[in-house]
Amino acid sequence: MDQIKSFLSGGAAGVATVLAGHPFDTLKVRLQTSNQYSGLLDCLRQTVRRDGLLGVYRGMASPLIGVTPMFALSFWSYDVGQQIVYRATPNRSARNLSMYEIAFAGGFSAIPTTIVTTPMERVKVVLQTQGQNAAPAATTTAAGAAAPAPKAASPGMVKTAMDIWRDGGMRSLYRGTVATLARDIPGSAAYFVAYEACYRKLKRPDADISVGAVLFSGGMAGVAMWVIAIPPDVIKSRIQFAPSGTYKGFIHCGAQIVKQEGPAALFKGLGPALLRAFPANAAGFLARAVSLEAMHRMW
């Protein structure tokens, strides 16, 4: 029963995380996959000029649909990882896990979650980067004045997924799996360690839910993850964005980025990733805590 609750509350966390953080994620991916932007503000300006304000929400359907199983799997797998630790240490003196044990459980959680994460992010990256290298068509009004360029139409999540499938089947849909694991195993370990470390320090002992502690700890969890995860995330975005055959694998892609653009290119998108990380994950952990508490009260 506890694992079912963990699964459902993880889904609630995922929905809240996407709603709060997707615009920053779009800017992160565009910065990572194109050299046409001078920085975060320029990326935002060009995106809004070309696609309108809703352009920063491009590709949101894919993670919004995918986050329920993804976050559900993540928190469920984290719970399974904790159970593995408990079974491996039957004579332990304390119920609370150490930070090393939490890191193991967090890293373990990324492995089954990748089954959902990789195809979801493959579709999301393609959607987020469509049309970013195309210059807006020049148009004029009847009076000869410049008219706003027409907004590029998004083909949608289902059509994009079908196009990816037709292009290379399951292999194409799961392009970037190794990079996703390289990002999420250490990233998830840092994620859960940061949350637990902060929450244990801040939680009021007399409160069922310490809202302030949950929000701050969740935000710091996101920051800790992205400080570690951004280089493999850049590589993942490049692999998932590039035409088939561009890169031979994770290491080759990373080496090509460093060779052509320098080591700093591996940290492209760090700004929007960190801007997104705190509010998005604060919202996610709060949604998880509230839904979990509600389920505890119901059954």
Among residues 88, 164, 79, 72, the alpha carbon closest in space to that of 121 is found at 164
250 belongs to a structural domain: yes
Contacts of 56 (CB under 8 A, 6+ apart): 22, 23, 26, 27, 44, 47, 48
143 belongs to a structural domain: no
- Output the pTM of the full model: 0.80
Specify the pLDDT at position 65. 79
CA atoms within 13 A on the CB side of 181: 9
Cβ(62)–Cβ(127) below 8 Å: yes
Specify the pLDDT at position 171. 93
Q: In a 3-state reduction of DSSP, which class is residue 204?
A: coil
Q: At what angle are helices 211-241 and 270-298 packed, to 10 degrees?
A: 130
Instruction: Give the CATH number, domain containing residue 62.
Output: 1.50.40.10
Q: Where are the alpha helices (DSSP H) in the chain?
A: 2-33, 40-51, 61-88, 99-129, 157-173, 177-202, 211-241, 250-261, 270-298
Tokens 């920053």, residue located: 24
Distance of CA 79 to the CA centre of its chain: 20
253 belongs to a structural domain: yes
Specify the pLDDT at position 155. 65
Task: Report CA-CA distances (Å) from 215 to 91, 106, 285, 290.
Answer: 34, 19, 7, 12
145 belongs to a structural domain: no
Specify the pLDDT at position 104. 98
For the chain, the domain total comes to 1
Among residues 11, 134, 100, the alpha carbon closest in space to that of 64 is found at 11
Distance of CA 234 to the CA centre of its chain: 12
- Which tokens is 238 given? 């490049």
144 belongs to a structural domain: no
Cβ(198)–Cβ(224) below 8 Å: no
| Count of CB atoms situated within 10 Å of the CB of 242 | 14
148 belongs to a structural domain: no
Based on C-alpha coordinates, what's the Rg of the chain? 21
CA distance 98 to 95: 9
124 belongs to a structural domain: yes
Cβ(107)–Cβ(147) below 8 Å: no
Cα torsion through 125, 130, 132, 136, rounded to 10: -160
142 belongs to a structural domain: no
Q: Where are the alpha helices (DSSP H) in 89-173?
A: 99-129, 157-173
pLDDT tens across the length of the chain (299 residues) = 677 888 889 888 988 988 888 888 888 888 888 888 988 899 999 999 988 888 888 878 767 777 778 888 999 999 999 999 999 999 888 888 999 999 999 999 999 999 988 998 899 888 888 766 555 445 444 444 444 444 455 567 888 889 999 988 999 999 999 999 999 999 999 999 999 999 999 988 777 778 899 999 999 999 999 999 999 999 999 999 998 889 999 999 999 999 999 999 999 888 888 888 999 999 999 999 999 888 888 88
Q: Which domain holds residue 227?
A: 2-129+153-298
Specify the pLDDT at position 3. 76
Q: In a 3-state reduction of DSSP, which class is residue 268?
A: coil
Specify the pLDDT at position 218. 96
